[in-house]
């Protein structure tokens, strides 16, 4: 179990603090954008507890097709949506999940991470080789939409990505230039029902691996 200073929350909060110090105007803009998204209740239609998760079939990082039904036949599934390998908060999250993956597997569950990036671009080859869970490509964010976590990215953030980071979402996502998933995590039982979830339109906050593991323990 991670100590309090090494939780994913502590890591993301440190990243936010560094951002506020290094680029306060941008972070202020992010705060305002997130506040507006919450005011419009974006993410409120996300898949809820006890609902059946929509099935999907998506390519993994090697271009091979993966079906949710096949995964559920083996046991519970943790489905987590992330924005892309270019997102520092996503990288923190995926590394934290990788560190706790043996515990997830010990509980009979599998972990699936879904982003809009093209199969061969979801992560660098070195990162992919270090990840022992499935990384799937939802290029048009159709699966994210079916789970209620597709988010129309505000122009403010798109401009930041393009101008400040040299990031072209249309190229990275092979055509999808405006829709990203709200970083959300769903724990599904063997029947595909949602037994636990974390949904927050603020992309700087993520579900804690410890909470995911606790939710899986409740299924044993």
Determine the number of helices (DSSP H) and then strands (DSSP E) in the chain.
10, 9
Name the 3-class secondary structure at 30: helix
Q: How many domains does the chain have?
A: 1
Spatial separation of the C-alpha atoms in residues 37 and 42, rounded to whole Å: 5
Residue 126 confidence (pLDDT) above 60: no
Q: How high is the pLDDT of residue 120? A: 56
Q: How high is the pLDDT of residue 40? A: 47
| CATH code of the domain in which 24 resides | 3.40.30.10
Nearest Cα to 184, choosing from 161, 212, 163, 215?
212
Spatial separation of the C-alpha atoms in residues 183 and 83, rounded to whole Å: 7
Q: How many residues does the chain have?
A: 220
- What integer best gives the mean pLDDT of the chain? 83
Q: What range does the domain containing 159 cover?
A: 4-217
Residues 85-112 have a mean pLDDT of 92
Q: How confident is the model at residue 198 (pLDDT cuts 50, 70, 90)?
A: very high
Q: What pTM does this model have? A: 0.79
Spatial separation of the C-alpha atoms in residues 82 and 187, rounded to whole Å: 15
- Contact of 181 with 138, CB cutoff 8 Å: yes
Residue 46 Cα to chain centre, angstroms = 14
Q: How confident is the model at residue 11 (pLDDT cuts 50, 70, 90)?
A: confident
């Amino acid at each position: 179990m991670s100590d309090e200073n090494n939780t994913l929350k502590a890591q993301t909060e440190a990243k936010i603090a560094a951002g506020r110090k290094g680029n306060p105007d941008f972070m202020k803009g992010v705060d305002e954008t997130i506040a507006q998204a919450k005011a419009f209740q974006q993410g409120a239609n996300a898949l809820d507890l006890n609902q059946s998760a929509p099935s999907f079939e998506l390519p993994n990082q090697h271009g091979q097709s993966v079906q949710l039904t096949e995964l559920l036949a083996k046991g519970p599934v943790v489905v987590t949506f992330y924005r892309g390998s270019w997102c520092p908060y996503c990288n923190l999250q995926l590394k934290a999940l990788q560190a706790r993956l043996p515990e997830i597997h010990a509980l009979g569950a599998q972990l699936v991470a879904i982003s809009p990036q093209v199969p061969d671009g979801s992560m660098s080859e070195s990162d992919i080789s270090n990840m022992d869970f499935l990384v799937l490509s939802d290029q048009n964010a159709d699966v994210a939409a079916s789970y209620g976590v597709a988010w129309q990215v505000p122009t403010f953030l798109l401009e930041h990505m393009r101008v400040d980071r040299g990031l072209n979402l249309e190229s990275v996502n092979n055509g999808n230039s405006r829709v990203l998933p709200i970083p959300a995590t769903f724990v599904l039982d063997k029947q595909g029902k949602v037994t636990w979830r974390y949904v927050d339109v603020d992309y700087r906050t993520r579900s804690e691996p410890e909470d995911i593991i606790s939710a899986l323990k409740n299924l044993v």
